[in-house]
Amino acid sequence: MFYPLSAVKTHPKTKIMAILNVTPDSFSDGGRLESVADALRAAEHALAVGAEILDIGGESTRPGAETVDIDAEIERVVPVIEAIHRRFPQALLSIDTRKSEVAKAALEAGAHWINDVSGLQYDPQMADVVAQQGATLVLMHSQGTPQTMQQNPEYPLGVVRSVFEFFEHQINSALQAGIARENLILDPGFGFGKTVAHNMELMRQLSTFHALDLPLLVGTSRKSFLTLGHRDIGVDEREALTAVSVAWAVQQGAAYVRVHDVETHAPVIRLAESLLAKEIATPELSPALSLAGA
């Protein structure tokens, strides 16, 4: 049943999931991490500047992306997960995959979360792997496949209601498979089978999903809908737009945000949370600086 809700649910702290793509063709950072050493350096930096979860992906799911063979995906992600787990044993690691075999291999290598962009729709064995391993599952909404999802997506009942009812159904499926409710996180799936208008409506009504009483993860980083259709704003120019969406997600009670540039967005979260708390924690200023800023 669909329950519209306008109240905002706040969290003590919105946590950052850092994106580490070990793919040659991701829409924003494909080919940037070409080796395990590159991934280790990126992980070290992300953790140092505020990331609490590292999301490692070996298959691009951008619009139009081709499916990667299971063995090739495992070959990309497992050495990276093993290396990060050895170097940073306390780091929380997530595997971004739709495939149960990849998820299982990643969990055995040291991952703790499975970030399934298909929301358990792609691989019927995924729920069993999550349940057996006791892993946390990010259950994301998507319509169609990467090859088809942006070909005139439609939601006759409205996008918010459709995503809400999808979550209700998939949560129930996850619970029936033996996944603990406390191990579920919901992601509305910005950019996955949605127009600019659909994405904007989901952003406006994020708080609606708190009726499901599960943490929300918001992933808007550098996505094209943030430009509102202005094609002259390239991927590398979308960080400021991402910051607006991150601040809005914090205001709407998101428990997690998934971003490429942790260093930029950690201060955005701190400022947004300070505004919501009506408290400002600032370092002591010298008298001269205080006067200069008066």
* Active site (annotated) includes residue 258: yes
Does 104 qualify as catalytic in the annotation?
no
C-beta of residue 268 within 8 angstroms of C-beta of residue 253 = no
Give burial (CB, 10 Å; 0-12/13-18/19+) of 70.
Answer: middle
- Residue of 98, 223, 231, 238 marked catalytic: 223
Q: Which of 238, 258, 270, 278 is catalytic?
A: 258
Q: In what order do the strands lie in the sheet with 256-259?
A: 184-187, 136-140, 113-116, 92-96, 53-57, 15-21, 256-259, 217-218
Catalytic residues: 223, 258
